[in-house]
Amino acid sequence: MKKVLSVLLILALVAGFGLVGCKKDVAETSGGREFVTIGTGGVTGVYYPTGGAISKMVNKKSDEYNLRVTVESTGGSVYNVNAIMSGDLEFGIVQSDRQFQAYNGTADWDGDPQKKLRAVFSIHPESVSLLASDDSGIMSLEDLKGKTVNIGNPGSGQRGNASDILTAAGINPDTDIKAEGLKAAEAAGMLQDGRIDAYFYTVGHPNGSFKEATSGTKKVHFVPIEGAAVEALVAEYPYYAKSVIPVASNYPGATNDGDVNTFGVKATLCTSADVSDDVVYAIVKEVFDNLDDFKALHPAYSVLTKENMLDGLSAPLHPGAKKYFKEVGLIQ
């Protein structure tokens, strides 16, 4: 008899949990608040404050949209794409080259195209930047041979960019340099401590890591990335373009005489085809309807226009983004 009662009690509890679950589902589909997360990058980069700026704008109208946006610091572009595809993140900031590679199944996704990846909009330009200590003697890419160079943590966009430009310059990242895999937040301190000779970082300017690195006692400078190697990359890959690092106006502690030539990509906001149109539409609308306010949140956004925020997108536009862009006449 006791066994029968125990079984009945367990069945009743299971049924009760089932009812609770049903109520939760009904709430979520009938006006319950939805929570979404934007994956960004390291806290010293521009991705993290970019995610914060977007979330701040949307959360001002949280009650209107029944939507709450949070931000997560992550390992960067590759991590963000993979987390979006697995459902661990709803949105992620991704370099334009990584968006192209993921959707087309190349590089880290070789033979495994991420066909559910969707573009939302592009954001600021990002320059592939190389900072070296003055006493390292590194004045060009060729001088990196035999040196200790941080090329970026696994899963970051800058690691791929560094590998691309080193290879184009005839430098093998595995044998010609001592390659470190540090996050950008660690690299500035390591350079000032003399434990690395230089580090790559693909980022919008001004940037906290470079401000830290150029403000220490050890003298440092930005190394130009130019010449045949850059010409070859820009010609081969549609997501690369020449750019300039505004050293003079942003990093007075650097020993450069002026601005420095390099190349770069764009930061883009991505999502999954599985994320609802309403959620994506709300995020796009708040950013684009308040673009002047958004641009005021970081100097890297100063060059943004509604038109150029549709550049650099290689994955299909999410229907929620497309709906807004059609409403305001940005696309047909």
Q: What does the pLDDT average to over 110-114?
A: 98
Would you say residue 312 has pLDDT above 50?
yes
Q: Is the pLDDT of residue 104 over 80?
A: yes
17-67, pLDDT tens digit by residue? 333 333 323 223 335 789 999 999 988 889 999 999 999 999 999 999 999
Can you tell me the distance from the alpha carbon of 211 to that of 216, in angstroms, rounded to the nearest whole number? 9
Looking at the domain assignment, is residue 59 inside a domain? Answer: yes
Asked if 116 and 194 sit in the same domain, the reply is no
Same domain, 149 and 236: yes
* Bigger pLDDT: 106 vs 6: 106
Residues 100 and 146 in one domain: no
Residues 58 and 78 in one domain: yes
Same domain, 101 and 135: no
* 47 Cβ contact list (under 8 Å, min separation 6): 40, 41, 76, 93, 267
Q: What percent of the chain has pLDDT over 90?
A: 82
* CATH number for position 130: 3.40.190.10
Note whether 254 and 272 are same-domain residues.
no
Structural domain of 151: 126-264
Residues 239 and 297 in one domain: no
Q: Could you give the number of structural domains in the chain? A: 2
- For residue 22, give the amino acid letter: C
What is the SS3 assignment for 278?
helix
User: Is 332's pLDDT higher than 50?
Assistant: yes
- Domain end call among 247, 264, 281: 264
Residue 238 banded pLDDT, cuts 50, 70, 90 = confident
- Position with higher pLDDT, 19 vs 151: 151
Q: Is the pLDDT of residue 182 over 90?
A: yes
How does pLDDT run across 254-306, given as a tens digit for each residue? Answer: 999 999 999 999 999 999 999 999 999 999 999 999 999 999 988 889 889 99
End-to-end CA distance of the chain: 72
